[in-house]
Structure 1
Amino acid sequence: MSYKRFPNPVRVIARQSQEIIISTAWDALEFLRRWPGSHDRAYRVAFQHCLDALDGIRTPKAAHRSFTAAAREAGILA
């Protein structure tokens, strides 16, 4: 399986102020499964776009954009 590398890594802050670097759609999907924020529209879009990137339906760049937007909206973008 290809992990679909993001164009640039995304730094997010998880629980206990731990900083995590997300560099692939797979990493993003794993982080989204234990998402510290609410499962609002931005979260759901990011989750779907990461799944789509892994399936080859969307580009990793689109998944990166959606994940970054969700992290920013949740206030966990480092």
Structure 2
Amino acid sequence: MASLCVFVVRETDDGDELQVGKTVTVSVNGKKMSAKTDENGSAFFDVPDEREVEVSCDGASESVSIEGDTADITLYLD
């Protein structure tokens, strides 16, 4: 298993704003997992190694390839 950390931020005129308490969904091979972002705007998941995952939150989504023991992604909301 690999550890996936998803940071959720919203771009504002004053800079990037961390999104606390947002639900992030990760889909791996049709299986969905959800977690809420913590006080640092991060949500953590254990996902299978060497897999393509779909990460989504509040209408924003991105596909990510997991290629090691850990992966970090920043998801920008509109």
TM-score normalized by structure 2? 0.28
Larger Cα Rg: Structure 1 or Structure 2?
Answer: 2
TM-score normalized by structure 1? 0.28
